Amino acid sequence: MTRTVLNGLGKASAATFALALCLSQSIQADEIEVRGSAVFEQRYFLQDALYAEQDRANFSIFAQAEIYKAFNDGDDSILFKPFYRLDQNDQERSHADIRELIWLHVGDDWELRTGIGKVFWGQTESLHLVDVINQTDSIEAIDGEDKLGQPMVNLSLIRDWGTTSIYVLPYFRERTFAGLDGRPRFAFDVDTDNPIYESEDEQRNLDWAVRWQHTLGDWDVGLSYFDGTSREPILMPQIDENITTLRPFYPQMQQAGIDILAVKGAWLFKFEGISRRTNAENYSALVGGFEYTKVGVFDTAFDLGWLMEYQYDGRDNLLLVPSQNDLMLGSRIVFNDIDGTEVLLGMVQDLDESSSRMAFIEASSRISDNWKWKLDAWLFSSEVPNEPIYQFRRDDFVELSLEYYF
């Protein structure tokens, strides 16, 4: 199931990409700001794989750039962020994407963005429930933080009583999934070439969203609403010639959300909650907790933070919900050294099933002005077959990255 190089961006986005190339050729190189990075990743799995197609080691490289041009006395700008990854084992993970290709026009109290953009909503650390504009690029990382570029028109109205952002989303991006050679992956192959849509317009269903955000003293509050194709597919089993595959089904959904951040001295209180409605089911979900930071712990240069968040999801199908009744505990260590060294440790424990948990480590530091190292580790444990992380029970891994910035 080989994907196209643009990974399903569609003809409209391909035309936008071509337009960007024409623009770049018409502007002198010294008028454009260019920066980017190239990253070398080595991932090693601590146990033998569940499936014969998988290896214990995997090497991957990716490159991304940021090309920026301002004009019209700074009232207009174009931002272009291309991305490409080449993976040793999984052809589905070798892919290209336009993370952003946005024209921004700034008025006195309004902003207009047109093109392919990236939008983040949310406040919590362990889960981002309200963040529904961009599709998850799930082959990039297990935490779901990486996103595909989203075609959009975005108008933001900036007023004293808050910022209101309106989004028109004319084209849908399918979620990416690992192939049979990928690791970690689902037990069955995901047939990304044959998705099912509830909307008769399929990928061209006209989605829309609106969000109001305002700061009230120590409180940041966001209220959002989304109407359109769900970014989270339902994976439907299909048997053909005794071969089972999973077909992604993308229903229509309506979601109301709220996100809150309160800053109280050394304490950060965070909350996200949603109410989602589809023809399949209606449910609510929430995640909330705190982060406390002790500056200069034990009279050292270190800052030590403690995190705790509770996750709840009202859906009945446990296989699709990794956060139905879970508790995340973590610690963030900031060295405050010249290399910017940081370490984040955490564990998410299922409160219903004592054997189901996952732990993670994220650490990074600069080597020089241009080089940086990063270490990620994920550990999974489950003895319950209908738990989401049960399928990753032998996929504990450590990943070391060497990053070059220019």
- pLDDT beyond 90 at 7: no
3 state SS of 128:
coil
pLDDT reported for residue 319? 63
* Residue type at 374 in one-letter notation: K
3 state SS of 18:
helix
- pLDDT beyond 50 at 27: no
pLDDT reported for residue 387? 83
Q: 């809150």: which residue's tokens?
A: 260
Q: What is the DSSP string of 299-327?
A: GSS-EEEEEEEEEEE--S-GGG-TTSEEE
* Residue type at 161 in one-letter notation: W
> Do the beta carbons of residue 69 and residue 78 sit within 8 Å?
yes
- pLDDT beyond 60 at 26: no
Q: Which two tokens stand for residue 57?
A: 């080691």
Give the rounded percent of residues in the chain with a pLDDT score beyond 90: 83
Pairwise pLDDT comparison (24 vs 44), residue with the higher score: 44
> Do the beta carbons of residue 60 and residue 178 sit within 8 Å?
no
Query: Rounded mean pLDDT of 254-269?
Result: 98
d(CA 399, CA 332): 19
pLDDT reported for residue 2? 38
Q: Which domains does the chain have, with CATH numbers?
A: 10-405 (2.40.160.10)
Query: Rounded mean pLDDT of 369-391?
Result: 93
d(CA 159, CA 25): 38
pLDDT reported for residue 318? 63
d(CA 176, CA 178): 7
Query: What does pTM read for this prediction?
Result: 0.89
pLDDT reported for residue 15? 46
pLDDT reported for residue 6? 46
Give the rounded percent of residues in the chain with a pLDDT score beyond 70: 92
Name the most confidently modeled range: 22-31, 36-45, 185-194: 36-45
The confidence band for 320, taking pLDDT boundaries of 50, 70 and 90, is: low
The confidence band for 41, taking pLDDT boundaries of 50, 70 and 90, is: very high
Q: Which two tokens stand for residue 275?
A: 């109410």
pLDDT reported for residue 281? 87
d(CA 335, CA 38): 25
d(CA 3, CA 87): 14
pLDDT digits (tens, 9 = 90+) for 324-360: 899 999 999 999 999 999 999 999 999 998 899 999 9
Query: What distance, in Å, lies between the first and last C-alpha atoms of the chain?
Result: 34
Q: Which two tokens stand for residue 349?
A: 């424990």
> Do the beta carbons of residue 328 and residue 345 sit within 8 Å?
no
d(CA 109, CA 341): 39
Query: Rounded mean pLDDT of 382-390?
Result: 87
pLDDT digits (tens, 9 = 90+) for 286-314: 999 999 999 999 889 999 999 999 999 99
Query: Rounded mean pLDDT of 184-199?
Result: 94
pLDDT digits (tens, 9 = 90+) for 110-147: 999 999 999 999 999 999 999 999 999 999 999 999 99
d(CA 199, CA 263): 42
